[in-house]
């Protein structure tokens, strides 16, 4: 048993165990991993396996404290349960965090040691890439376990094109809800962040006839979008406040906050970035302003769908079809949100929880028959 004093000075100061952590949500397993030979220090959190094995990426980050790493593992694994449930995948939610600097500490041996610990969990947890982890790292993990996705043998490679496709389909659903048509011809869309997902999203939007406004802190990415799509460039700090019909955050989290929300002119927010709302109250503030927000974990699920459903040698068609259902899911969320007077993210949580409860009861019924 790890005590509060050992793992979380500050965040657990009034409690004794992980079970009292403010992010603990009846997680099924929280495994603290240490490998003396390679120096691996990691936490693997399995939140919920009601729908199937817990799938979620492995993040490598130089956390300041073990408490920060634990907070991330607990929070992100729970997020994966909701994301996988809402995406209609037969998978639970989990996450691994390795406490290390990906630029300095990462070695193939460290990744192999992590793989050996994933193997010990016997398929309860399936790992994949996340921040600080490359496809090569996953190949090292795969030397020790088959419970890994995103490797050459198991996957379709980079999930970003599917994330972008899913965002595009969700963005069309949002346009239909607000403007009564999926047609984006002439709609002004401000895309913040022109990385793997943002640039590909621009391509879909350009093909659909949208007028693009683009921003990135990396000047060459902006120049490329201007040249390729005839986009209008704006300062990275202005992407949310330019005159636009739709704002698509595809850079960092926390972009929707007390400072930015009053400045937004778009009627729709639909983008790939994770954790776009700084706080839950910011979702209410958007709702109050009449801005339709596509919940991030619902609209950006294309990547996890591609990781989950790819099969050795491909499976792209099936992945594409499933990714395009993101638009249908969002249409349902928007309708329910309007009907119930709740925010879209509240409805997304509700739908994910309903699926979990249904599956739990179905299993109970089978077990008792």
Would you please indicate which residues are annotated as catalytic (active-site) residues? Answer: 95
Q: How far apart are CA 311 and CA 307, in angstroms?
A: 9
Q: How far apart are CA 123 and CA 31, in angstroms?
A: 14
Residue entry with tokens 């607990």: 74
In our burial notation (b when 16+ CB lie closer than 10 A, e otherwise), range 142-159 reads bebbebbbbbeebbbeeb
Enumerate the H helices of the chain as residue ranges. 4-7, 66-86, 108-120, 135-142, 160-179, 196-207, 219-229, 280-288, 296-299, 302-309, 316-340, 344-368
Helices 108-120 and 135-142, packing angle to 10 deg: 50
Tokens standing for residue 38: 């390679």
Closer to ligand NAD by CB, 121 or 165: give it: 165
CB of 355 to ligand NAD, least distance (A): 20
Residue entry with tokens 């041996």: 109
- CA-based nearest residue to 218, from 184, 242, 187, 192: 192
Closer to ligand NAD by CB, 200 or 349: give it: 200
Q: How far apart are CA 319 and CA 166, in angstroms?
A: 10
Residues that bind ligand NAD (CB under 6 A): 159-160, 163, 192-198, 215-218, 221, 236, 250-252, 272-274, 300, 303
Closer to ligand NAD by CB, 166 or 283: give it: 166
CB of 307 to ligand NAD, least distance (A): 9
Residues 6+ apart with CB under 8 A from 320: 162, 165
Residues 6+ apart with CB under 8 A from 328: 173
Other beta carbons less than 10 A from residue 271's beta carbon? 31
Closer to ligand NAD by CB, 117 or 278: give it: 278
Closer to ligand NAD by CB, 86 or 250: give it: 250
CB of 359 to ligand NAD, least distance (A): 24
Q: How far apart are CA 269 and CA 295, in angstroms?
A: 9
- CA-based nearest residue to 240, from 256, 227, 253: 256
Residue entry with tokens 């790939």: 272
CB of 99 to ligand NAD, least distance (A): 20
User: Exposed (0-12), middle (13-18) or buried (19+): which is 16, by Cβ within 10 Å?
Assistant: exposed
Closer to ligand NAD by CB, 33 or 205: give it: 205
Closer to ligand NAD by CB, 66 or 163: give it: 163
């Amino acid at each position: 048993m790890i005590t509060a004093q050992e793992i979380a000075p500050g965040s657990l100061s009034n409690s004794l165990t992980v079970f009292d952590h403010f992010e603990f949500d009846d997680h099924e397993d929280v495994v603290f991993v240490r490998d003396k030979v390679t120096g691996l220090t990691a936490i693997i959190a399995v939140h919920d396996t009601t729908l199937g094995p817990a799938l979620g990426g492995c993040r490598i980050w130089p956390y300041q404290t073990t408490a920060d790493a634990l907070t991330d593992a607990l929070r992100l694994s729970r997020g994966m349960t909701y994301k996988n449930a809402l995406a209609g995948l037969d998978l639970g939610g989990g996450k691994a965090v390795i406490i290390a600097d990906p630029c300095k500490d990462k070695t193939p041996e460290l990744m192999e040691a992590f793989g050996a610990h994933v193997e010990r969990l016997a398929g309860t947890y399936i790992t994949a890439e996340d921040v600080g982890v490359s496809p090569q790292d996953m190949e090292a993990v795969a030397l020790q376990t088959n419970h890994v996705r995103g490797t050459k043998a198991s996957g379709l490679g980079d999930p970003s094109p599917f994330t972008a496709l899913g965002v595009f389909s969700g963005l069309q659903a949002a346009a239909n809800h607000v403007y009564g048509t999926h047609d984006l011809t002439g709609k002004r869309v401000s895309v913040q962040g022109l990385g793997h997902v943002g640039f590909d999203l621009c391509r879909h939007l350009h093909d659909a006839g949208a007028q693009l406004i683009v921003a990135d802190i990396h000047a060459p990415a902006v120049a490329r979008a201007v040249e390729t799509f005839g986009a209008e460039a704006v300062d990275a700090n202005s992407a949310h406040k330019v005159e636009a019909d739709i704002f698509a955050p595809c850079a960092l989290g926390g972009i929707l906050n007390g400072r930015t929300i009053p400045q937004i002119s778009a009627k729709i927010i639909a983008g790939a970035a994770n954790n776009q709302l700084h706080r839950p109250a910011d979702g209410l503030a958007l709702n109050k302003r009449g801005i339709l927000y596509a919940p991030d974990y619902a609209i950006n699920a294309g990547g996890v769908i591609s990781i989950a459903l790819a099969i050795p040698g491909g499976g792209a068609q099936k992945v594409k079809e499933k990714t395009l259902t993101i638009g249908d899911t969002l249409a349902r969320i928007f309708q329910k949100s309007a009907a119930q007077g709740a925010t879209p993210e509240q409805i997304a949580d509700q739908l994910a929880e309903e699926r979990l409860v249904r599956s739990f009861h179905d299993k109970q019924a089978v077990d008792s028959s």
